[in-house]
């Protein structure tokens, strides 16, 4: 696929711009250099080509000149199916043909070999930034060959850094012997949840006691707050009364002051502010009126002193009109000079006629018509071209004859073809199939993998100790499943927790029983109380003694009954006297019975747990014995052993697969050697027992030799045919040139004979006619100028006479004496200017007088208004002057201030007493004694301080009890902790699965890189090595590899000896290395699929001229495979590129 023509219709800074790349020429590189200044649109060109192929994106940075919906690109593309016109727009059917009809995107997809936008940008677009990132990717990959080859062919400059970031992400979750991984964080969080659960899980009796403590503290705290509130309310009431007493005294004082100002009227709002202005304006207005009257009289006197000449002003227009006539009068003084010029011009016309050898002829009669002059000049202009064409045709005919003879001689020198094209094609097919085979890389890779796997198997088999046996026996062993092991672990953990819990409960209950027993003994010892059982027994003995006494009614039974009765009464009296101790003893005995029952139940549960542990131990021991492992092995050790077993089995399976791959590669190698041997034998060359590489070289030499012979013969035949065709064309050109010369001679003779030039005895040639025409061209301008000068002299004479008559007429009107016209006109202008100036001054003074009179009237009006306003103020207060008005306004303002203060104090007193009116508040305050209120306030203040401390202590006790209860939690806190633990385990499982997938993906990527390296290393490395040597001007002789563990590292071989790691090269050299790898990747792509346009934007920015020259050489070689487009703003690269590739096409971008 290639671009024949690119239409930048509306894109970026381009409007209807076309770049025509043309058709490729056979045997010549398809190399194009686009030159433009900075900001000329070189980067826009790359974006336009990508958008043309894959569509204009949703948001484009190139819509700054043309609207987003109007952007349009077009092109003529050379596709495998032929040349196709396409148009790319943003709206509607986005891909269209030249007629505007929608076409399928598959048309371009097939031509692009199915690659997408990102792949195309990475593989076929290169700029300075990509080169820089490519150099950095060499550092990131540490020179690893697989990564470098893959990155170069795919254009993925950041492939190595991407793998590094993935590995860092995986290590952040889990890495052996690391101390701060995400997995360790999960384990820490699980431990914290378990500790919190153990902390809040307590007995019900403890919880009940904490609830009672909290409720008691809350009740006491509420009671304390109520008492404090009552004290605070009373203290606030006393403080309000105490604060209102001074305000009430101030109210009474203000009432006394207001009584003295009751007769002062209240002026309207604004009089106080207006009064100072009225006082100051009185004198100012009178002074302004006097100044205005004086100004009127002054201006009137100045106006009357100016005199105006009305007659001179009336003659003003006529005097102004003299200016034009005066200029013409002065110009007419040059009449003698103009007459001399007329005589000289007439002499020049006679000289022209003499130079034409026609001295007696009228010059105007010698002038030729315009059509004849045009025809003669056309024939003169055509003459040189016709003569040159005839001479060139004769030279080209001679050269073509010599070349045709030489080509025929070369063709006759070739013998018959050594082989036909079909046999060469068969040999080439065998050769291509052998080169395309990857059996060498597969065999080398398989051998290395087999050796590595055997070594790993030998290392890991001893780790299965104490188990022993063959690898096949290991696969046949029946092992417990992961679910079964998890079941064992769960059962063991359940039993362990039960034993721990039961043991702890037994210890706690035993301690409780001991404490209760001691408490019962202590109560009995201290109080002499008996328990309820002993009391009931005493009562029963009393009742039995009474029954015996009733039956016998003797002295002995009476004493026995008395003794039993006294003992029972003593017990009852003791219980009545020590009711609280008896209740405490009764509770202790009940708690003792409960603890004993619980202890017996817990001991039964512990025995059951021990029985379950014995059953589980026997089950796991039987499973381990069946495998051949010791019965005392722990489950964690068993899991590690099973993991090592799976690893060994996986290695064994991989070893078998690698061995199969090795045998397949060896079989493919034998088949390829057989095909090469047969092909050489068919070509007549024997190669007994030769190696694959030797056979490949031999067959390549034969194919190249036969191709070269056929190509040379075909080239010679084409050259002979081309030269024969060229000779025929040159013969036709010679005949056409001779006919054109004969036709010109006939036209010349006809044109010259049609005018007076044909009357000359010897007709002049083209050169003489050219000179004659130049002389004839001088006559018309001279004739026109002579006629114009004659008319000008006559007009100047008329202008003189008219000016003199006009000046004399004006002077007679004004009574002036006759004088020189110029001096008289100047005197008239001075007089009219003076008269106009005086008239203007008089008019100006009149305007000033009118304005001064207006100012005088306004001043009188302001005085009248001022006096009316002052009379209003004095009449209101009944005074005679504005100063007295000011005193009255001050007294009115004083009364207003007192009234405001009285209102404010009244509101404060009313609010303090919580009454509806000031009189009611006065009544309340009159009944109070200030000294008693102050005494009560001091007492309440002291009481509040004690109540505050008490409430604070009670609140602290309540909060402490509440925190203790909250720490235990009577709700579902334990269940929520279990739920949080399960959620955490689910999250951990998801992250572990992601970790495993990422690790497997990284391993797969490394293995893919290894396979890619083995498959492409030979051809790509060789191509990159040659390109690198070229770019560096031989500073490096090439590239080679060096094993490093399971990788191969790329080295640069220096021409001076020694080698250098890719990571040790300078920044510029690494960029050159990356360019060499990209060139190799391009050639590798072109081997298997059709080439695509390669675009490079200013990639030679950092290259000097020598390296730029070599880079152009490599790009020209790429252009032999496909279309290469290079954009630059360095114009000196044009010469460098043409020196390397004369067939390069240079395109200019407008500035």
Residue 422 has φ and ψ, to the nearest 5°, of -65, -40
3-state SS, residue 1059: strand
Residue 573 CA to residue 560 CA, distance in Å, equals 20
- Identify whether 743 is part of a domain: yes
Give me the pLDDT at residue 156, please.
Answer: 44
* Beta-carbon contacts of residue 181 (< 8 Å; ≥ 6 apart): 171, 172, 173, 174, 175
Residue-wise pLDDT tens digits, 468-485: 777 777 777 788 888 888
Cite the beta strand spans of 164-252 per DSSP E: none
Candidate from 193-202, 835-844, 1123-1132 with smallest mean pLDDT: 193-202
Q: Are strands 72-79 and 1145-1148 parallel, antiparallel or unpaired?
A: unpaired
Average of per-residue pLDDT across 1015-1041: 80
- Range of 307-311, 419-423, 624-628, 648-652 with top mean pLDDT: 648-652
* Beta-carbon contacts of residue 279 (< 8 Å; ≥ 6 apart): 882, 883, 886
Residue 748 CA to residue 375 CA, distance in Å, equals 9
| Angle between the N-to-C axes of helices 779-814 and 335-355, in degrees from 0 to 180, rounded to the nearest 10 | 170
- Identify whether 400 is part of a domain: yes
Residue at token pair 């026995």: 560
Candidate from 1-5, 272-276, 639-643, 871-875 with smallest mean pLDDT: 272-276
- The count of other CB atoms within 10 Å of the CB of residue 890 is 11
Domain that holds residue 759: 377-415+707-775
Average of per-residue pLDDT across 217-232: 81
Residue 117 CA to residue 104 CA, distance in Å, equals 17
Cite the beta strand spans of 374-462 per DSSP E: none
Residue 635 CA to residue 484 CA, distance in Å, equals 11
Q: Residue 204 pLDDT more than 50?
A: no
CB 479 within 8 A of CB 645: yes
Residue at token pair 């101030």: 250
CB 1083 within 8 A of CB 1095: no
3-state SS, residue 1135: helix
- Identify whether 390 is part of a domain: yes
Average of per-residue pLDDT across 849-870: 83
1137 is written with which tokens?
């590129």
CB 173 within 8 A of CB 960: no
- Identify whether 397 is part of a domain: yes
Give me the pLDDT at residue 1115, please.
Answer: 92
Residue-wise pLDDT tens digits, 1108-1141: 888 899 999 999 999 999 999 888 889 899 988 9
Residue-wise pLDDT tens digits, 228-264: 788 888 888 888 878 888 877 787 777 777 777 767 7
- The count of other CB atoms within 10 Å of the CB of residue 1059 is 15
Residue 154 CA to residue 146 CA, distance in Å, equals 12
CB 1112 within 8 A of CB 1133: yes
3-state SS, residue 56: coil
* DSSP H or E run through 177: none
CB 670 within 8 A of CB 434: no
Candidate from 353-362, 515-524, 733-742, 911-920 with smallest mean pLDDT: 353-362
Residue at token pair 């200029």: 327
3-state SS, residue 1097: strand
- The shares of helix, strand and coil residues in the chain, as percent rounded to the nearest 5, are 75, 5, 20
Average of per-residue pLDDT across 884-905: 79
* DSSP H or E run through 1078: helix 1067-1088
Give me the pLDDT at residue 527, please.
Answer: 66
Long-range contacts of 426-430 (CB under 8 A, 24+ apart): 426/679, 426/682, 427/679, 427/682, 427/683, 427/699, 427/702, 427/703, 427/706, 428/703, 428/707, 430/675, 430/676, 430/679, 430/699
pLDDT-based confidence at residue 638 (cuts at 50, 70, 90): confident
Q: Which residues pair with 8 in a beta bridge?
A: 17
- The count of other CB atoms within 10 Å of the CB of residue 214 is 20
| Angle between the N-to-C axes of helices 1067-1088 and 145-154, in degrees from 0 to 180, rounded to the nearest 10 | 70
Average of per-residue pLDDT across 113-129: 83
Q: Residue 208 pLDDT more than 70?
A: no
Q: How would you label 516-526 residue by residue, b for 16+ Cβ within 10 Å and e otherwise?
A: beebbeebeee
What CA–CA distances, in Å, run from 951 to 217, 223, 234, 959?
Answer: 11, 9, 18, 12
Q: Residue 310 pLDDT more than 50?
A: yes
| Angle between the N-to-C axes of helices 579-627 and 555-577, in degrees from 0 to 180, rounded to the nearest 10 | 80
- Identify whether 383 is part of a domain: yes
pTM of the predicted protein model: 0.35
Average of per-residue pLDDT across 291-314: 81
408 is written with which tokens?
């025929």
What is the sign, positive or negative, of the torsion defined by CA atoms of 916, 918, 924, 929? positive
Residue 1042 has φ and ψ, to the nearest 5°, of -140, 130
Candidate from 45-49, 222-226, 707-711, 965-969 with smallest mean pLDDT: 965-969
843 is written with which tokens?
């008019």
DSSP 8-state assignment for residue 107:
H
* DSSP H or E run through 331: helix 316-331
Q: Residue 568 pLDDT more than 60?
A: yes
1088: buried, middle or exposed (CB in 10 Å: 19+, 13-18, 0-12)?
exposed
Give me the pLDDT at residue 142, please.
Answer: 54
Radius of gyration of the chain (CA): 63
Average of per-residue pLDDT across 725-741: 84
Give me the pLDDT at residue 984, please.
Answer: 83
Give me the pLDDT at residue 857, please.
Answer: 84
Q: Residue 155 pLDDT more than 50?
A: no
Taken as a whole, the chain contains a residue count of 1151
- Identify whether 880 is part of a domain: no
Longest CA–CA separation in the chain, Å: 210
Q: Residue 298 pLDDT more than 50?
A: yes
Residue at token pair 């290079």: 1126
Candidate from 110-119, 579-588, 639-648 with smallest mean pLDDT: 579-588
Q: Residue 949 pLDDT more than 50?
A: yes
Instruction: Please report, for the chain, how many H helices and E strands are present, in that order.
Output: 33, 13
41 φψ region: left (φ > 0), alpha (ψ -120 to 50), beta (else): left
Please count the CA atoms within 13 angstroms of the CA of 457 that sit on its side-chain side.
17
Average of per-residue pLDDT across 567-571: 73
Higher pLDDT, 100 or 757: 100
- Identify whether 678 is part of a domain: no
Question: Which of 865, 875, 898 shows the shortest CA–CA distance to 267?
Answer: 875
Residue 336 CA to residue 917 CA, distance in Å, equals 123
CB 285 within 8 A of CB 867: no
Residue 533 CA to residue 381 CA, distance in Å, equals 155
Residue-wise pLDDT tens digits, 64-114: 888 878 899 999 999 888 889 999 988 655 788 888 888 888 888 888 877
- Runs of H (alpha helix) within 461-481: 471-476
Give me the pLDDT at residue 579, please.
Answer: 56
Q: Which residues pair with 1128 in a beta bridge?
A: 35
* DSSP H or E run through 11: strand 2-11
Residue 88 has φ and ψ, to the nearest 5°, of -110, 120
296 is written with which tokens?
């009127």
Give me the pLDDT at residue 7, please.
Answer: 94
3-state SS, residue 1122: coil
pLDDT-based confidence at residue 448 (cuts at 50, 70, 90): confident
Residue 1122 has φ and ψ, to the nearest 5°, of -155, 180
Higher pLDDT, 375 or 1147: 1147
Q: Residue 970 pLDDT more than 70?
A: no
- Identify whether 711 is part of a domain: yes
DSSP 8-state assignment for residue 8:
E
Helix (H), strand (E), coil (C) string for 68-95: HHHCEEEEEEEECCEEEEEEEECCCCCE
| Termini Cα distance of the chain | 30
Q: Which residues pair with 1042 in a beta bridge?
A: 1049
Residue 935 CA to residue 531 CA, distance in Å, equals 60
Residue 1118 CA to residue 1095 CA, distance in Å, equals 11
Give me the pLDDT at residue 157, please.
Answer: 43
Total domain count, the chain: 1
pLDDT-based confidence at residue 550 (cuts at 50, 70, 90): confident
710 is written with which tokens?
């056929």
pLDDT-based confidence at residue 1018 (cuts at 50, 70, 90): low
């Amino acid at each position: 696929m290639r671009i024949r023509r690119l239409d930048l219709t509306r894109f970026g800074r381009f409007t209807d711009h076309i770049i025509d790349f043309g058709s490729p020429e056979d045997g010549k590189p398809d190399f194009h250099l686009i030159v433009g200044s900075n900001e000329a649109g070189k980067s826009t060109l790359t974006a336009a080509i990508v958008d043309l192929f894959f569509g204009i994106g949703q948001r484009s940075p190139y819509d700054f000149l043309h609207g987003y919906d109007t952007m349009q690109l077009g092109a003529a593309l050379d596709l495998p199916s032929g040349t196709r016109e396409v148009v790319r727009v943003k709206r509607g059917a986005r891909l269209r043909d030249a007629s505007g009809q929608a076409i399928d995107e598959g048309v371009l997809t097939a031509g692009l070999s199915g690659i997408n936008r990102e792949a195309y940008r990475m593989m076929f677009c290169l700029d300075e930034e990509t080169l820089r990132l490519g150099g950095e990717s060499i550092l990131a990959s540490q020179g690893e060959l697989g990564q470098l080859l893959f990155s170069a062919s795919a254009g993925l400059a950041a492939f190595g850094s991407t793998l590094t970031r993935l590995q860092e992400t995986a290590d952040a979750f889990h890495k052996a012997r690391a101390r701060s991984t995400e997995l360790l964080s999960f384990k820490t969080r699980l431990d914290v949840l378990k500790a919190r659960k153990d902390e809040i899980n307590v007995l019900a009796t403890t919880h009940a006691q904490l609830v009672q403590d909290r409720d008691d503290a809350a009740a006491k705290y509420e009671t304390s707050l109520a008492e404090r509130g009552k004290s605070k309310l009373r203290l606030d009431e006393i403080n309000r009364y105490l604060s209102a007493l001074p305000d009430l005294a101030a109210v009474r004082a203000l009432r006394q002051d207001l009584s003295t100002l009751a007769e002062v009227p209240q002026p309207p709002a604004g009089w106080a502010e207006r009064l100072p202005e009225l006082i100051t304006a009185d004198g100012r207005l009178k002074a302004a009126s006097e100044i205005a009257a004086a100004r009127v009289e002054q201006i009137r006197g100045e106006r009357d002193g100016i005199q105006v000449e009305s007659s001179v002003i009336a003659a003003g227009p006529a005097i102004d009109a003299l200016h034009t006539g005066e200029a013409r009068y002065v110009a007419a003084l040059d009449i003698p000079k103009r007459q001399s010029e007329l005589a000289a011009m007439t002499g020049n016309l006679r000289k022209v006629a003499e130079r034409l050898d026609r001295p007696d002829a009228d010059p105007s009669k010698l002038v030729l018509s315009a059509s004849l002059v045009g025809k003669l000049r056309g024939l003169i202009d055509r003459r040189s071209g016709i003569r040159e064409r005839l001479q060139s045709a004769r030279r080209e005919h001679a050269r073509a004859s010599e070349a045709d003879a030489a080509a025929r001689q070369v063709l006759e020198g070739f013998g018959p073809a050594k082989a036909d094209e079909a046999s060469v094609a068969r040999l080439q097919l065998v050769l291509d199939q052998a080169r395309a085979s990857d059996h060498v890389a597969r065999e080398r890779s398989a051998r290395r993998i087999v050796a590595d796997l055997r070594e790993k198997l030998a290392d890991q088999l001893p780790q299965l100790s104490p188990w022993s046996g063959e690898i096949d026996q290991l696969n046949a062993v029946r092992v417990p499943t992961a679910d079964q092991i998890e079941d064992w672990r769960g059962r063991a953990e359940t039993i362990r927790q039960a034993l721990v819990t039961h043991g702890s409960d037994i210890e706690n209950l035993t301690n409780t029983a001991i404490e209760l027993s001691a408490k019962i003994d202590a109560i009995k010892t201290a109080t002499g109380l008996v328990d309820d059982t002993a009391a009931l027994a005493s009562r029963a003995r009393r009742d039995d003694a009474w029954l015996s006494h009733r039956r016998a009614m003797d002295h002995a039974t009476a004493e026995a009954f008395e003794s039993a009765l006294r003992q029972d009464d003593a017990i009852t009296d003791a219980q009545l006297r020590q009711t609280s101790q008896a209740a405490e003893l009764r509770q202790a005995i009940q708690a003792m019975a409960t603890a004993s029952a619980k202890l017996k139940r817990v001991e039964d549960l512990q025995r059951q747990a021990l029985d379950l542990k014995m059953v589980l131990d026997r089950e796991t021991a039987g499973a381990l014995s069946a495998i051949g492992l010791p019965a005392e092995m722990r489950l964690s050790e068993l899991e590690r052993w099973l993991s090592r077993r799976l690893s060994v089995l996986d290695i064994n399976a991989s070893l078998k697969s690698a061995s199969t791959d090795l045998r397949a590669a060896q079989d493919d190698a034998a088949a390829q050697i057989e095909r090469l041997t047969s092909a050489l034998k068919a070509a007549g060359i024997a190669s007994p027992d030769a190696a694959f590489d030797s056979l490949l070289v031999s067959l390549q030499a034969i194919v190249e030799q036969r191709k070269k012979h056929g190509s040379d013969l075909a080239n010679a035949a084409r050259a002979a045919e081309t030269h024969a065709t060229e000779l025929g064309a040159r013969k036709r050109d010679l005949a056409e040139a001779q006919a054109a010369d004969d036709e010109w001679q006939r036209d010349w003779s006809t044109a010259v004979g049609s005018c007076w030039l044909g009357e000359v005895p010897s007709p002049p040639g083209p050169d003489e006619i050219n000179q004659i025409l130049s002389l004839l061209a001088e006559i018309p301008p001279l004739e026109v100028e002579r006629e114009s000068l004659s008319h000008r002299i006559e007009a100047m004479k008329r202008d003189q006479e008219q000016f003199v008559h006009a000046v004399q007429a004006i002077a007679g009107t004004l009574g002036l004496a006759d004088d020189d016209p110029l001096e008289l006109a100047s005197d008239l202008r001075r007089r009219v200017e003076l008269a106009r100036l005086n008239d203007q001054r008089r008019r100006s003074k009149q305007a000033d007088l009118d304005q001064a009179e207006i100012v005088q009237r306004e001043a009188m009006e302001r005085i009248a208004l001022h006096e009316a306003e002052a009379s209003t103020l004095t009449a209101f207060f009944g005074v005679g002057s504005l100063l007295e008005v000011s005193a009255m306004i001050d007294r009115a303002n004083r009364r207003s201030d007192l009234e405001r203060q009285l209102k404010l104090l009244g509101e404060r007193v009313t609010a303090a007493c919580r009454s509806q009116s000031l009189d009611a508040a006065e009544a309340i305050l009159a009944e109070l004694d200030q000294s008693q209120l102050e005494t009560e306030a001091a007492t309440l203040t002291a009481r509040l301080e004690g109540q505050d401390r008490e409430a604070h202590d009670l609140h602290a006790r309540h909060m402490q009890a509440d925190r203790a209860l909250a720490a235990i939690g009577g709700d579902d806190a334990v269940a929520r902790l279990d739920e949080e633990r399960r959620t955490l385990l689910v999250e951990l499982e998801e992250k572990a699965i992601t970790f495993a997938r990422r690790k497997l993906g990284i391993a797969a990527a490394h293995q893919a890189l290894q396979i890619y390296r083995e498959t492409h290393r030979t051809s790509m490395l060789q191509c990159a090595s040659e390109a690198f040597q070229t770019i560096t001007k031989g500073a490096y002789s090439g590239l080679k590899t060096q094993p490093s563990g399971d990788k191969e590292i790329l080295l640069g071989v220096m021409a001076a000896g020694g080698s250098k790691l890719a990571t040790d090269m300078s920044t510029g050299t690494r960029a050159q290395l990356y360019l060499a790898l990209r060139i190799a990747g391009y050639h590798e792509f072109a081997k298997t699929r059709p080439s695509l346009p390669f675009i490079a934007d200013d990639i030679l920015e950092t290259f000097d001229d020598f390296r730029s020259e070599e880079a152009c050489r490599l790009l020209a070689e790429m252009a032999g495979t496909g279309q290469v487009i290079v954009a630059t703003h360095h114009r000196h690269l044009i010469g460098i590129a043409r020196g390397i590739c004369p067939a390069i096409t240079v395109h200019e971008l407008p500035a």
